[in-house]
Amino acid sequence: MTKDHQDDTAPPSDIELSVKALESLLVEKGLVDQEAVDALLELHENEIGPSNGRRVVARAWADGGFKRWLLDDPNGAIASMGYVGSQGDQVRVLENTDDVHNLVVCTLCSCYPWPLLGLPPVWYKSAPYRAQAVADPRGVMRQFGSEIGDNREVRVWDSTSEMRYLVLPQRPPGAEGWCEEELRDLVTRNSMIGVEEAQRPATTQTP
């Protein structure tokens, strides 16, 4: 299983089938370019969708009071920023620390906090990820380029339709004193799932 894995063995829902049929028809008629569709989906998965989650994490990094609120009452704190929706009614925020690293999976389907992270990536829905995340979470993170030391406990959290999770990654060193807008650039979708750590500031970047 890699971050580009395209194997998704879960049967598509009726809505997904209808969307795929409409997409195929539009492409066949020459009304929509397939590459444009793929690029749009990629944009929503990686940039537009996770932007809300990035703002939540950046505010928690910059504002200790908001961070405490987010951990104690995540739904209230998140709602205060206007990020609510049917796929994010109940969210628990998991803080990464020097001692604990959290990773999120949905072993039965692909439950995901849509209002915060947008569309779930294909690999998150795939059977290989769902299985390996539970059996070998360190191995999964290694495939995404993250090595978690043996001195840190790795906790795997299984999302359900009743409870979804957002990982609060550690603020990387070198970003002390940065404003929220600057901090957002260090937060990735994958770090909010837990398969990666937050990005470190570039050596040429200044607050």
Active-site amino acid positions: 106, 109-111
Residue 49: name the closest of 115, 95, 127 by CA.
Answer: 115
Residue 72 to residue 77: CA distance in whole angstroms: 9
Strands (E) in 159-207, as ranges, are: 164-168
> Which among 42, 13, 37, 10 has a CA at the least distance from the CA of 25?
37
**Residues ≥6 apart with Cβ < 8 Å to 93:** 70, 71, 74, 165, 166, 167, 168
* Cβ 77 vs Cβ 52: under 8 Å: no
Radius of gyration of the chain, Cα coordinates, nearest whole angstrom: 18
